[in-house]
Structure 1
């Protein structure tokens, strides 16, 4: 059997596709990946990939400007070449964009053969036809990440239809790349006793730990542990490295813009630990088994985009407003960037280097979590700083317990919860919204029964108004925004009254379970 995985996203997300690829291989599929042309080099870092197909998006768009027929011919030629080299029995689309959905549909029906699709699909009328509730959750979680309790790796695996999450393990660097890493790190510095990597870049400025803190950390690592900071990043991030080293008194190796991806993977394998923002390099280090201390600022938070490997440290600023929502200017002048001081990171990293394990912290200023896996193999976080007693941690734990079963379409009507509920104040704040939604779902269920027998126009209008009202109530509560988006997505995707009746039954069970857990 053969499978084609479509992932038209960036470097880090592509790396996090590894467990899907390995899981499909374990299930007997010869697995290939279709990705964007400019990220095709990522496949050199992955294992179990039979072949790679790089979508020539830039060429297709350039041809479209000249003549749409030329663009269409280029696209069809690419699809035909994929089919000649790999005639898949299964298409797994992990990208919810319309181009990716169209690709999945195109491959599923080429040459008169109907191939099975998992993940983000589209029907013959052009409407979304996702194959699992997990796909809908992944799509809405991408814009509500502050409210998402699941790591992207686990979401990808569930969307792909894999029951058990496969450990996140990338390919080992080749002997040639390991030798190249030895050369890059081979400068003799008297008294040096190892290397600590610095990755100061990130997708935007507010998600970057300040360069002055990297400099302060470098000073202490050298002065107290004789560890040499190794600066990593792209050529476009070199100015960040220059700023870190400006006025620094510690020796360093600046490799920013000087390594390809295979060399970078090999260098990461030589480090005692990597200190990083939420970046693709963080995921690469996790997949290579390099210990990671990752700082999550602004919209970044470790529950969904943290390193999906055990024994890494995640640090969040200890401020109530973190993580902040996407697309909203910070009303506090991005104060979270300065909440985690260099001393906090040094204490954690130095103890890890000395003791070989991340230890509980009493230093204020950061929520510190150790990555691990729960009984189902999902990535989990355990607090090293006492924040497992906070409402946020308890709420995320409760969501994981309920949403996982809800998205797996289990019967949760009689579920007995094991997680500790949040504080009374927190529960009271959510109870009003949950009560209103519970009552509306009951009313909608009765209206659906009537409409199935007698589709009266006046009742249809009331029914649709109540559907929208549920979304409005859920979206008014920040902790329920991801559920609001999922409700909106799934209720619009169901175009039959029978389908809506089943959806109402599922949501009634979920809201009832949430409400009971708050009593």
Structure 2
């Protein structure tokens, strides 16, 4: 993966380097007014393209089960363009939640993640930020860039995201999907990731808290 390649590049220059996730120091932002007072988890439902986004109805069913099991508050994060997607999850799940999509700066977003018990999202910067602030996370992963950015290899130190995926023989397609699918929906490898598999990964992390 990229972390290992970067380390190897530096080693080739005679610089001592290991494939390690850097720890992001607290930026000291006052986010008390943004986050819940109680324990909470984060859903990050967006991605750079709809083809990489797990379906809204699955996120909704997933959050119902996590709230039922943990009693944690739900926070949804993302960009301004993902506000309505987040609202759809809230509506479908029937769970009272805080929708922060488009309402935080990047430093504030990082601190929101730092304070969370758990983050679940698609393959975006959110899961990588979670790793830098030592927040457990689950990444719903497609095969477009499989192995380049995710999953994290065993050689990488720190709190690594758990990648959940449904392997197909077309992995590594660079997101040029060769399978028939609706261009307005996620690609088949993302659609093949089941709610149960995501729930199982989340439960594993919850037990470790």
Specify the TM-score bucket, using the shorter chain as the normaliser. Answer: 0.7 to 0.9
* Whole-Å separation in 2 of the counterparts to 1:264 and 1:222: 22
Pick from 149, 164, 175 the counterpart of residue 305 of structure 1.
149
Residue 247 of structure 1 and its aligned partner are, at CA, apart by 3.0
Matched, 1:331 2:175: no
* Whole-Å separation in 2 of the counterparts to 1:216 and 1:327: 27
Pick from 220, 223, 248 the counterpart of residue 65 of structure 2.
220
| Alignment correspondent of 2:164 | 315
CA-atom RMSD, angstroms?
Answer: 2.1
Residue 324 of structure 1 and its aligned partner are, at CA, apart by 4.5
Matched, 1:352 2:201: no
- Where 1:230 maps in the other structure, the secondary structure is strand
**Residue pairs, 1:373-392, within 5 angstroms:** none
* Whole-Å separation in 1 of the counterparts to 2:195 and 2:127: 19
Contact 2:136 2:161 in 1 (8 A): yes
- Where 1:305 maps in the other structure, the secondary structure is coil
**Equivalent residue pairs, number:** 196
- Where 1:317 maps in the other structure, the secondary structure is coil
**Residue pairs, 1:41-190, within 5 angstroms:** 151-160=1-10, 161=13, 162-165=15-18, 167-175=20-28, 177=29, 179-180=30-31, 182-186=32-36
- Where 1:246 maps in the other structure, the secondary structure is helix
* Whole-Å separation in 1 of the counterparts to 2:86 and 2:21: 29
Residue 337 of structure 1 and its aligned partner are, at CA, apart by 2.3
Structure having the larger proportion of residues in helix: 1
* Whole-Å separation in 2 of the counterparts to 1:277 and 1:300: 13
* Whole-Å separation in 2 of the counterparts to 1:203 and 1:314: 18
Deviations 1:349-401 (A, max 9, x none): 12321233xxxxxxxxxxxxxxxxxxxxxxxxxxxxxxxxxxxxxxxxxxxxx
Q: Return the TM-score normalized by structure 2.
A: 0.83
* Whole-Å separation in 2 of the counterparts to 1:316 and 1:247: 24
Residue 207 of structure 1 and its aligned partner are, at CA, apart by 1.2
Contact 2:137 2:161 in 1 (8 A): yes
Deviations 1:105-163 (A, max 9, x none): xxxxxxxxxxxxxxxxxxxxxxxxxxxxxxxxxxxxxxxxxxxxxx2122223334334
Q: Return the TM-score normalized by structure 1.
A: 0.36
| Alignment correspondent of 1:251 | 96
Note the residue ranges of structure 1 that are not aligned, 5 or more in a row: 1-150, 188-192, 357-519
- Where 1:183 maps in the other structure, the secondary structure is coil
Residue 169 of structure 1 and its aligned partner are, at CA, apart by 1.6
- Where 1:290 maps in the other structure, the secondary structure is coil
| Alignment correspondent of 1:280 | 125
Note the residue ranges of structure 2 that are not aligned, 5 or more in a row: 182-186
Contact 2:113 2:130 in 1 (8 A): yes
Contact 1:278 1:300 in 2 (8 A): no
Residue 215 of structure 1 and its aligned partner are, at CA, apart by 0.7
| Alignment correspondent of 1:96 | none
Residue 277 of structure 1 and its aligned partner are, at CA, apart by 1.2
Q: Which has the higher contact order (CA 8 A, sep 6+)?
A: 2
| Alignment correspondent of 1:340 | 193
Matched, 1:205 2:58: no
Residue 166 of structure 1 and its aligned partner are, at CA, apart by 5.5
| Alignment correspondent of 2:184 | none
* Whole-Å separation in 2 of the counterparts to 1:327 and 1:225: 35
| Alignment correspondent of 1:295 | 140
Residue 261 of structure 1 and its aligned partner are, at CA, apart by 0.9
